Amino acid sequence: MNNVQQENAQQKKIIFSCQPGGCLTGVIRVPGDKSISHRSIMLGALAEGRTHITGFLEGEDAIATLNAFRAMGVKIEGPNDAELTVHGVGLHGLKAPVESIDLGNSGTAMRLMSGLLAGQQFNVTLTGDASLSKRPMKRVIEPLTKMGAVIDSKPDGTPPLTISGGQKLTGIDYVMPMASAQVKSSLLLAGLFAEGATCVAEPATTRDHTERMLKGFGYTVENYPLNSLSNPLSNSLPTKKGTKVCLLGGGKLKATNIDVPGDISSAAFFIVGACITNNSDVTLQHVGINPTRIGVVNILRLMGADISISNERDIGGEPVGDIRVRSSQLKGIIIPKDQVPLAIDEFPVIFIAAACAEGDTVLEGAEELRVKESDRIQVMADALSNVGVKARPTVDGMVISGSEIKGGEVDSCGDHRIAMAMSIAALRSQAPITIHDCANVNTSFPGFAKMANSLGHNIRVNVV
């Protein structure tokens, strides 16, 4: 594709036209987990030897991470049919890229790579698209700076980020002010290059893919409950409930094989779709059911969803299973706060379940939603209101009253999860729902509309 074609492609807009009604039936396997796909490239590149990856998510976000490491001298074969091979260069084998690294729409890639690159010997600048350029990075910049990193950003802490090489990093004992798997992972990756121990205490459990995968690559990682006084890597005494993760710098990563399970964040759209429509029966095969990611299932079960998990097994340190979902009569609930970090990416579609439930659903403690690809609290409240649902945003959540979905036009504000969530809402709407600005669906779920239609939905993708 030449420069003119690329520019024209970037100017094209994608609109979802979703017809009302229908139900979902069938057996499918959703694309690979985005979080694990990112990490498999990062750790595979830093390992010694060849890492073979299957089930890799060929979405734009994960491809951006792949291209970033190619730009730093890592040979990567593929992806071909979701398979690729990473020829690791070791912890100190990355090379300076010729130009800045563009991470597109991926906040995960930027935050994790900030930690990983803080310990390199070369300077590098990380950039992103208009959405990523507005997302807060101080939450990783500040603790990384305490470790000795030198990172420049815009005055408000947003990208681009310029990371200075050749810095001596020292491990720290860091208590996160709010639960964030991305901050935790960024610090642990920096800790690989730091002198001494790096410990990260989190006030609530967050996804643990980084810790699991580090162990899979042969690196020692220790987990401690925060009420434990037997932590040999840290002298500080924990004072809060939660968990602490520690590792020592200076080790090595050994190449391994990774089979990426289906992404539960992608499965969540069809889980909710089957719950809210009559005569639905969907089985999602080979889905990751990591206990730090299963919040969407826990919340929906509390609402009365008919969800069963079978064929449970462990693949490469990650629990996997087949999820069957059948039509349910949902009821509104107060969402338990301990489930919020376990479902933080799934709330746009959980809001659709709430709109179809009897009574009110109340979410609190989810202020993190305001700094995702969009302000997901406000944007979802606006979208729901546009199609007739009673939704009242709060500072840290939302109150949604079960309502008839009337149909209408909504703006996803370039947020892939909002575009997909509102398309699921059409299954219960009285009239079509038109969703604008859907191009970024390809960042996490290429082929979403095609897969949804194969189950019985009716989504027409219009390129204008």
pLDDT in tens, 352-400: 999 999 999 999 999 999 989 899 999 999 999 999 999 999 999 999 9
All domains in the chain, ordered by first residue: 3-32+261-463 (3.65.10.10), 34-259 (3.65.10.10)
pLDDT one digit per residue (tens) for the chain, 464 residues: 333 333 334 457 999 999 998 899 999 999 999 999 999 999 999 999 999 999 999 999 999 999 999 999 999 999 999 999 999 999 999 999 999 999 999 999 999 999 999 999 999 999 999 999 999 999 999 999 999 999 999 999 999 999 999 999 999 999 999 889 999 999 999 999 999 999 999 988 888 999 999 999 999 999 887 654 333 443 443 334 568 999 999 999 999 999 999 999 999 999 999 999 999 999 999 999 999 999 999 999 999 999 999 999 998 789 999 999 999 999 999 999 999 999 999 999 999 999 999 999 999 999 999 989 899 999 999 999 999 999 999 999 999 999 999 999 999 999 999 999 999 999 999 999 999 999 999 988 999 999 999 999 999 999 98
Q: Does residue 33 carry a catalytic annotation?
A: no
Dist CA 438 CA 215 (whole Å)? 37
pLDDT of residue 227: 57
Of residues 173, 208, 345, 437, which has the active-site annotation?
345
Please state, in angstroms and as integers, the Cα–Cα distance from residue 281 to each residue in 18, 141, 346, following that order.
Answer: 20, 46, 20
Its pTM stands at: 0.86
User: Which run of H or of E encompasses 227?
Assistant: none
Nearest to 132 by CA among 150, 120, 114: 114
Sign, CA torsion 180/186/189/193: negative
392-421 burial code (b ≥16 CB/10 A, e <16): ebeeebbbbbbbebebbebbbbbbbbbbbb
| Residue 263 host element (H or E) | none
Strand partners, 284: 28, 323
